A and B are shown apart, each in its own frame.
Chain A
């Protein structure tokens, strides 16, 4: 096979804040290069999950290879690697960036730089990528391209005077972007004759081919029959097929060489064997060292997921297994709840990841779910010197056995216009934030830096942030580490019985407030029974809040319908149906909505 001229290859990605037009620009690039006609273009080719298109965010990295005939008369191969657009997937972003040689930075001409823009640019610069900016949405009436250009130069410190002014939506200025890809992004290097060294930046499961591994070849070459080894997991396999990415399809080729981006299949059964960030090498002629930067991603947020219909437990297990084939960062293990029956404790990268998995389970697998309050991993140090990583509040040891506990802390950056600094600082204060500092981006905008306990931001922090800044604040965070904290387990007792699925860990200072809110909420959710139902919140056996659902005193069908018994029966059957949708805890029937509604306790009334 003829060696491909490395100087004609450009491996790059597009980075942007959410909604600044990353996916739209990607579409236009693909369109302009002539790989697809406009008619063939599905809107936003790269976001190919239904859910992604609806939410307007990229969850899984997508990649496409396109041919561009530049003004210099040469044909170039572009490998456009799309990156996930959310902080939950930061690690995946970093690996996708590592597969690139450069990046296009898309900045909204009206909104300018946002928290995520910065986070992504810093990440790109860390990976030594050459970044050139593009000003998008210049057709908006509120567009201020010149101000944004200055902002980019001031804040990020990269040259922006010749940034293409474009409208991805209307196809304005796309040519210029393509030309700058050729001129500003460096060609890859690497020696095809060296031992194989390839970076895995993503993988998907295909029921016919097994795992399809997305990789960037740094050194060496790989083709059908090569025996490969994943250096971190140790898994070995024989390559069945190699190829590159068409738009939405895999196109086999004979060989992948250093500098190229492509895929390989090797009858691998499980994505767990092909972790993002791992290095592929030749089993028989291995490279000396793996590529730097691999780490095993860990779940940050846990919750219990139960089928609403207890008979659907096996279906839920099957669905989770199938999702896991494609998502190595999802993990789950069976657990049992007295209130909810059989289900799974599931770990996620973050709350968005949790949301997405839950929605996919409901939508793609048609399951009705009950989810328990999401929590983080606490480190429990016992008096006997043992340390437990606690993911389910029910497993908290007896307080007498606990020496101390630690909770995860994140470093957070919040970009906000100056008028909202006050409310946002107050919000962070309420969430036990530790103020680190403020950087003024320009006179009207600032970057607030806080350290926040993770468990304070996994519930409704995003919503609160948006509502207190009228949608203007943006937010990004990174796990910083663990810190000792005064944590307690808040138990909910309904009719004197502890409901395990409603327990959660909370900071001692907010226990009373949360307990009171929980009780109030549950009082609204639990229907009246034939007897009075006390609802109590307790910490360590001590009741700290209480509400009562009064007994139902009258429900009688007095009316006479003559001999029309059927009608009476229908009324009673309707009543019976209502009961079926409840979860029985002791004598009390709790509607499934009650388990969910307590997740949405707005702490600011």
Chain B
């Protein structure tokens, strides 16, 4: 990254109802809290933007939670504030939304406001599976939103799908895939379910996940076997390739030229600034993270009254005055190299040895020769002077390999 470009991530930590598998920083909130949050966010944008005058903003991503839990005016206001305060050169402005939270009219207004990419959380086209996940919508509702979005002018739409769901079979997954590809969205993200601690899913399925036998079969019969999971993965790649989607990252598929530019910034280690509760940032090889505590965030960016006593009274009891965000952490050269490999290899195009050399003044073969050779021999990495990337077999077991670059 020669030019100091910047990507912006805006976190909206609200949703209508928490999904049973979700461990993202998000929860339902009252209208009053949402409105206070927006005010705080606007203030944070003003305060932060000052430091990035020299960084033209190229991509913006509103994520959550469900950003569309905010009303359109609020979203417009936020986007406007960004445009006013940052050096604006945004080509891609994405908005995550969930079926059941937007009307056709909303979508039109959002498109007019400047959002040009919509990411719709579908997860599954099977009603049974949606219910188990705790989603608030049906497949029908999704279709309504999808077509309304097209109508509103969105010509860059992503659909999120999930595999390895409880009760899911290869057949039902294939059916979902077929249905979705027929709609011809520009982009499809296909994640596999991870059972995270602290979610209702953890309570229900963690034991089953732990007690898989040596062949990865869930002895309790609640979850698809590892082999079925793998078959779903395999199918995603095969079916989507047949319809003009290219897998450009482990979980992401896009039609030509429709890769999510914002996400690529993460994998390529470009600069990004996260705004809003719990948002992560990395600018100029320094990482930090905004507080995850809503009360603290609201206090920190709340409107100052000018009256110290009043301000002090407003401070939530358990919140320390100082500790408002995680410490900024500058990455050592070693850490930069590790991340370069760990993130870069997630992309199917892999990493360029030349770029590695240019960034770190040392050859990637000198740093990681042994690891590279080991996995090349096993047929899991493709290694040449031009590119280093996973083979198809390598992607399936990428964790094992990526860990070796740490």
For residue A554, which residue of chain B has the nearest CB?
A: B230
A39 at the interface (CB under 8 A from B): no
Inter-chain CA distance A466–B282, complex, in Å, is 63
Chain A binder among B49-57, B129-137, B143-151, B397-405: B397-405
Q: If A530-B380, A554-B226 touch, does A560 touch B191 (CB 8 Å cutoff)?
A: yes
User: Inside 8 A of B169's CB, which chain A residues have their CB?
Assistant: none
Interface residues of B (CB under 8 A from A): 9, 11, 61, 63, 189-192, 194, 214-216, 226-227, 229-230, 233, 250-251, 263, 266, 272, 274, 279-282, 287, 289, 338-339, 342-343, 378, 380, 395-400, 402-404, 406
| 17 other A-B residue contacts (CB within 8 Å) besides A549-B214, A560-B263 | A530-B378, A554-B226, A554-B229, A555-B397, A557-B250, A558-B194, A558-B251, A560-B251, A562-B279, A563-B9, A563-B279, A565-B282, A566-B280, A569-B338, A569-B406, A572-B403, A576-B404
A322 at the interface (CB under 8 A from B): no
* In the complex, number of A-B residue pairs with CB atoms less than 8 Å apart: 104
Q: List 19 A-B contacts (CB under 8 A).
A: A524-B214, A530-B397, A553-B227, A556-B233, A558-B191, A558-B250, A562-B11, A562-B274, A562-B279, A562-B280, A563-B272, A565-B280, A565-B343, A566-B289, A571-B399, A572-B403, A575-B400, A576-B403, A576-B404
Question: Is A568 in contact with B403, judged by CB distance below 8 angstroms?
Answer: no
A-B pairs with lowest CB-CB distance, top 5: A575-B403, A563-B280, A554-B230, A558-B251, A576-B403
User: Inside 8 A of B189's CB, which chain A residues have their CB?
Assistant: 560
CB of A126, distance to nearest CB on chain B (Å): 56
A559 at the interface (CB under 8 A from B): yes
Inter-chain CA distance A555–B394, complex, in Å, is 10
Question: Is B251 in contact with A562, judged by CB distance below 8 angstroms?
Answer: no
User: Inside 8 A of B194's CB, which chain A residues have their CB?
Assistant: 557-559
Question: Is B266 in contact with A553, judged by CB distance below 8 angstroms?
Answer: no
A147 at the interface (CB under 8 A from B): no
Question: Is A523 in contact with B214, judged by CB distance below 8 angstroms?
Answer: yes
Inter-chain CA distance A549–B274, complex, in Å, is 45
A480 at the interface (CB under 8 A from B): no
Which one of A555, A560, A563 lies within 8 Å of B399 (CB-CB)?
A555
Question: Is A558 in contact with B192, judged by CB distance below 8 angstroms?
Answer: yes
A41 at the interface (CB under 8 A from B): no
Question: Is B404 in contact with A565, judged by CB distance below 8 angstroms?
Answer: no
User: Inside 8 A of B192's CB, which chain A residues have their CB?
Assistant: 556, 558-559
Question: Is A552 in contact with B403, judged by CB distance below 8 angstroms?
Answer: no
Question: Is A565 in contact with B214, judged by CB distance below 8 angstroms?
Answer: no
A528 at the interface (CB under 8 A from B): yes
Within 8 A of B (CB), among A537-557: 549-550, 552-557
Inter-chain CA distance A65–B229, complex, in Å, is 74
Question: Is A562 in contact with B9, judged by CB distance below 8 angstroms?
Answer: yes
User: Inside 8 A of B191's CB, which chain A residues have their CB?
Assistant: 558-560
A169 at the interface (CB under 8 A from B): no
Question: Is A564 in contact with B280, judged by CB distance below 8 angstroms?
Answer: yes
Question: Is B215 in contact with A550, judged by CB distance below 8 angstroms?
Answer: yes
CB of B2, distance to nearest CB on chain A (Å): 21
Inter-chain CA distance A347–B63, complex, in Å, is 65
CB of B380, distance to nearest CB on chain A (Å): 6
Q: If A569-B342, A572-B342, A579-B403 touch, does A563 touch B396 (CB 8 Å cutoff)?
A: no
For residue A529, which residue of chain B has the nearest CB?
A: B400
A440 at the interface (CB under 8 A from B): no
User: Inside 8 A of B190's CB, which chain A residues have their CB?
Assistant: 558
CB of B333, distance to nearest CB on chain A (Å): 16
User: Inside 8 A of B404's CB, which chain A residues have their CB?
Assistant: 576
User: Inside 8 A of A365's CB, which chain B residues have their CB?
Assistant: none
CB of A235, distance to nearest CB on chain B (Å): 54
Question: Is A563 in contact with B281, judged by CB distance below 8 angstroms?
Answer: yes
User: Inside 8 A of A576's CB, which chain B residues have their CB?
Assistant: 403-404, 406
User: Inside 8 A of B406's CB, which chain A residues have their CB?
Assistant: 569, 572-573, 576
Question: Is B266 in contact with A563, judged by CB distance below 8 angstroms?
Answer: yes
Question: Is A552 in contact with B400, judged by CB distance below 8 angstroms?
Answer: yes
Which one of A554, A560, A568 lies within 8 Å of B342 (CB-CB)?
A568
Inter-chain CA distance A195–B61, complex, in Å, is 99
User: Inside 8 A of A528's CB, which chain B residues have their CB?
Assistant: 214
Which one of B281, B339, B400 lies within 8 Å of A555 (CB-CB)?
B400
User: Inside 8 A of B61's CB, which chain A residues have their CB?
Assistant: 562
Inter-chain CA distance A531–B397, complex, in Å, is 11
Inter-chain CA distance A558–B382, complex, in Å, is 20
Inter-chain CA distance A560–B397, complex, in Å, is 17
User: Inside 8 A of A554's CB, which chain B residues have their CB?
Assistant: 216, 226, 229-230, 233, 396-397
Within 8 A of B (CB), among A343-374: none
